[in-house]
Amino acid sequence: MRKLALLLALLPIFGPAVAQTDKDSAAAPVQKTADVITQPEFKGGIEKMYEYINRNFQYPEEAQRRSVKGKMEVEFTVEKSGDITYVGILKGLDEAIDQEVLKLLKAMPRWTPATKNGQPVRYKVSMPITIRASKTKNGQKSSQGLTDYRDN
């Protein structure tokens, strides 16, 4: 009885996959032209984006004392207008640094939006960021900044 109940429970899951025939799949239209998709871009390119972040990143004092450094992963959506929304941390590093990075990402200037067949579309971006600490001339720790993924 238990095996029958399990079989009946799994039947709706596997049923449609087993029931499909070659005749059914042949009826589906084949798309002959590929969609042309361009990715969104920070105005001026990725180098300009990292310049913007490095220039505006304020290394939190609390994180400085602990010499916090490492890799984190962020995500955000570039809207059709180029505005940045839905900013989040996928893999955080430190609460204070995470908050500073979120603040910077939310304040980023408009991007050139992604396009699909020439029309602007929303696009989710995720990227790694590396935080490095270094000594300044006066011996104080400061941020060497956020570096792009190619430095990793």
69-114 pLDDT per residue, tens: 999 999 999 999 999 999 999 999 999 999 999 999 999 999 999 9
What confidence tens digit (pLDDT) does each residue in 24-69 have? 445 445 455 578 789 999 999 989 998 998 899 999 998 989 899 9
Helix ranges, 20-60 (H): 22-27, 46-56
Between residues 41 and 7, the one the model is more confident about? 41
pTM reported for the whole predicted model = 0.66
pLDDT at res. 36: 79
Query: Bridge-partner residues for 116, per DSSP?
Result: 37, 119
CB contact at 8 A, 93 and 24: no
Q: Read off the tokens for 143.
A: 């941020």
CATH 3.30.1150: does it fit domain 37-151? yes
Q: What is the pLDDT of residue 133?
A: 72
Give pLDDT, residue 15: 38
Cα 97 to Cα 136: distance, rounded to the nearest angstrom:
19
- Per-residue pLDDT at 35: 81
Continuous segment of H or E residues that includes residue 12: helix 2-19
Statement: residue 6 has pLDDT above 60: no
pLDDT at 144: 45
